[in-house]
Amino acid sequence: MFEQLNSRFAQIVKKIKGHGKITEQNISETLRDVRRALLEADVNFQAAKAFINRVKDKASGKEIFTSVTPGQQFIQILMNELTSFLGSKNDGISFSSSGRTIILLAGLQGSGKTTTAAKLACFLKQRWQKTPCLIAADLQRPAAIDQLQVLGEQIQVPVFARHKKDVAKAVKGGLSQSKDADVVIIDTAGRLHVDEPLMDELKLVAEIANPDEILFVADGMTGQDAVNSSSAFNDALDITGVILTKMDGDSRGGAALSIREVTGKPIKFLGTGEGMKNFEIFHPDRMAQRILGMGDVVSLVEKAQDVFDQESAEKLQKKMVENSFTLADFQEQLTQMQKMGPLSDMLKMIPGAGKLGKMNLDDRQLKWTDAIIKSMTPAERNSPEIINGSRRKRIAEGSGRSVQEVNQLLKQFHQMQLMMKKIGKQGKVNFPFKIK
């Protein structure tokens, strides 16, 4: 996510920090670099121009030139304006104060609305303890209803799909059947904003449902197209927010950086993978930090909270104190880490780890490590000191890895054991976050 932009901004930040004195000339040079980085990331030209002008106005004050740390002052201005550019804050979902909250999803074909509808329902259910349901109102795409029903079963959320030919009846029927739900999510057919009959149909759905939220679902990889279409849908429907999908792909980030400026409507969520849990709230301040290479510890902690439960944390703590951390425990920790997402993404959330982000971090390494441990006997996992040369050869053959990789794993594990022993001697472990 934002790899290209992150790399360019990292260079810009490093360069401005290197100036012992800030002048109008090097500010102008830096702003030219920023503008070039934004345009290369497919940011809307007018949006990029407006951003540069605001930074320039803020950076022209005398206090920045007389500051003890002028470079840091400029970076702070850049950070503040980037946050504002992205939307300042996320207001989340506007839940109805009385009765059900109705959310209507709209967008182009292929933007991932159906999957996003299920992801949003899963998120509302698990993160905010809501009781959501889904209404299948995509009657244009073959198998769209079947897809939503399969996803609904997967996340254990009811799907209402009684009418398959009449959109108005499908929505009305779904609304009448979903009295027990406190959030109703309506999945609609993808359509071009220039297709007047289908846009009229969407307006009819909005009139029938009277939604609390109309969220435009945009493919983050389409860049300027996403910006243009979001603007057109906003003119037609007065959308309340945007969900960007496929942000785990090779996206330059232009859509995320432009939509808020062009439409005036906030980005509320990001789809970051194919799994139902690859869905997160869009926080402008945290995203600005990521783009500038400052990390995002809060989001990293939240991911950990979603993965590690209290029982697992207490078990790990006990193992540390008793110095009884085994390869089986190590394997369990690796399994939990895999649930948090790609290693490269997690690394970017750690402040100061920007340089490490350029390393070739292959997530397959975790799977290979898991395979090696699984090739061991229970006795070997609990007492790795018994693993001699012949056992190492057998483990390597069983996992499809080399003896050298087995040796490397055992060495790393021994180092981890020593670290755990040291931590254990210090007494009770205080985790940097509260486990749910």
Our CA angle for 248, 250, 252, nearest 5°, is 105
What 3-state class would DSSP assign to 277? coil
Q: Tell me which residues of the chain have a pLDDT lower than 70.
A: 1-2, 19-20, 61-70, 249-252, 294-314, 316-317, 320-321, 337-363, 420, 422-436
Q: Which residue, of 61, 86, 111, is where some domain finishes?
A: 86
The C-alpha atoms of residue 110 and residue 125 are separated, in whole angstroms, by 25
Residue 226 lies in a domain: yes
Residue 382 lies in a domain: yes
State whether 197 and 318 are in the same domain: no
Query: What does the block give as tokens for 98?
Result: 């009385």
Q: CB–CB of 131/122 below 8 Å? A: no
Tell me: the pLDDT tens digits for 144-186? 999 999 999 999 999 998 777 899 999 999 999 998 999 999 9
Q: Please return the burial class of 429, using the count of CB atoms within 10 Å of its CB with bins 0-12, 13-18 and 19+.
A: middle
Tell me: the pLDDT tens digits for 25-55? 888 888 999 999 888 888 888 889 999 999 9
Q: Which domain holds residue 55?
A: 3-86
The C-alpha atoms of residue 137 and residue 157 are separated, in whole angstroms, by 16
State whether 71 and 194 are in the same domain: no
pLDDT of residue 75: 83
Number of domains in the chain: 3
Q: CB–CB of 407/361 below 8 Å? A: no
State whether 189 and 223 are in the same domain: yes
State whether 246 and 108 are in the same domain: yes
pTM for this one? 0.72
In 3D space, the residue among 185, 181, 230 whose CA is nearest the CA of residue 211 turns out to be: 185
